[in-house]
């Protein structure tokens, strides 16, 4: 069985993000880009499924040419094949439709995704992908058991966990705690440099402008407002308490 995993290149979680001059995009100049963290759990889930039952892991990314770096990482940890759909600036829904079009020829029996991308936090890509494929979808899976024709998924809900059984093929999005992602070995890194990443455009996948039309309109980006400085009261306890109560009442207006 072919096992596919969708990977996204996103800004590092420690990067300082600033809006671009147009106010409608992000300035990525000098920003470190990396594999979106939840996608690491998806990649490891795909590799573990291959280790257990055999098959082939195909990594896919939709994005600019630079997104090939996350596919090279996938090769380094054990992926067998990789495809980059070169399409820059797509929203999550359009990217999912690109992935679905690519999977029509790849024909995987199971697709793993990260729970969400850390740049937009939309939780949208896996659901649109499953809808486009006509497959069932289980989100935010934190424990997984795979059989030949089904997957038993456990996910956290308020106050406990729930267990869902889904027939394959299916799209499964992965949450933190599902596994411990492996790191590439030196041999894996060297082998990855020798492998070729296939690349296709949306047009080559049969997608026109309507399929790539964004579902979300970005009006503007703005940095968060500056935090106001804190207040320090140095008076003795009785006076400090009275001053605090007065501040909460008159300025903060929470009393």
- What DSSP designation does 131 have? H
Determine phi and psi for 195, rounding to 5 degrees: -90, 150
pLDDT at residue 89, rounded to an integer: 86
198: tokens are 């296939």
- Model confidence at 198, pLDDT cuts 50, 70, 90, reads very high
Pick the CATH number of 2-212 from 2.40.10.10, 3.40.50.2300, 3.40.50.620, 3.30.70.100: 3.40.50.620
C-alpha to C-alpha distance for 36 and 111, rounded to whole angstroms:
17
Contacts of residue 174, defined as CB under 8 A and 6 or more positions apart, other chains included, come to: 38, 41, 42, 45, 112, 113, 114, 115, 140, 141
Among 101-105, 145-149, 224-228, which stretch is predicted with the lowest mean pLDDT? 224-228
pLDDT at residue 215, rounded to an integer: 84
pLDDT at residue 22, rounded to an integer: 86
Which run of H or of E encompasses 47?
Answer: helix 37-53
Average pLDDT, stretch 114-132?
Answer: 93
Helix axis angle, 186-194 relative to 68-77, nearest 10°?
A: 130
Domain ranges of the chain: 2-212, 227-255
3-state secondary structure of 63: strand
pLDDT at residue 20, rounded to an integer: 87
104: tokens are 């029509």
pTM assigned to the model = 0.85
**Per-residue pLDDT reduced to its tens digit, 31-51:** 899 999 999 999 999 999 999
Q: Which of 77, 95, 76, 75 is nearest to 85 (CA)?
A: 95
Sequence-ordered strand ranges (E) for 73-208: 81-86, 110-114, 137-146, 150-157, 160-167, 171-174, 198-200
pLDDT at residue 21, rounded to an integer: 86
3-state secondary structure of 118: coil
C-alpha to C-alpha distance for 33 and 208, rounded to whole angstroms:
29
C-alpha to C-alpha distance for 247 and 231, rounded to whole angstroms:
10
- What DSSP designation does 202 have? T
Place of tokens 């996350």: 70
| % of the chain beyond a pLDDT of 90 | 71
Q: Which of 95, 155, 119 is nearest to 35 (CA)?
A: 119
Contact (CB, 8 A) for 144 and 152: yes
Q: Identify whether 169 is preceded by a cis peptide bond (ω within 30 of 0).
A: yes
**Per-residue pLDDT reduced to its tens digit, 139-187:** 999 999 999 899 999 999 988 999 999 999 999 999 999 999 999 999 9
C-alpha to C-alpha distance for 41 and 47, rounded to whole angstroms:
10
């Amino acid at each position: 069985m072919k096992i596919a995993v969708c990977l996204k290149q996103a800004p590092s979680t420690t990067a300082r993000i600033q809006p671009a001059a147009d106010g409608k995009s992000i300035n990525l100049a000098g920003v470190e880009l990396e594999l979106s963290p939840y996608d690491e759990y998806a990649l490891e889930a795909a590799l573990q499924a291959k280790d257990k039952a055999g098959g082939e892991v195909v990594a896919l990314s939709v994005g600019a040419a630079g997104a090939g770096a996350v596919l090279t990482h996938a090769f380094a940890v054990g992926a067998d094949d990789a495809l980059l759909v070169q399409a820059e600036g797509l929203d999550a829904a359009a990217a999912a439709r690109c992935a679905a079009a690519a999977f029509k020829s790849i024909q995987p029996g199971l697709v793993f995704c990260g729970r969400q991308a850390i740049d937009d936090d939309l939780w949208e890509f896996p659901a649109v992908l499953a809808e486009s494929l006509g497959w069932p979808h289980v989100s935010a899976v934190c424990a997984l058991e795979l059989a030949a024709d089904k997957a038993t998924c456990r996910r956290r809900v308020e106050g406990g966990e729930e267990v869902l059984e889904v027939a394959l093929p299916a799209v499964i999005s992965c949450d933190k705690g599902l596994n411990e992602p492996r790191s590439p070995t030196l041999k894996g890194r060297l082998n990855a440099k020798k492998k070729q990443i296939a690349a296709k455009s949306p047009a080559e996948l049969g997608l026109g402008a309507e399929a790539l039309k964004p579902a979300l309109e970005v009006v503007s980006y703005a940095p968060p407002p500056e935090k106001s400085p804190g207040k320090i009261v140095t008076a003795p306890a009785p006076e400090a308490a009275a001053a605090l109560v007065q501040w909460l009442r008159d300025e903060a207006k929470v009393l």
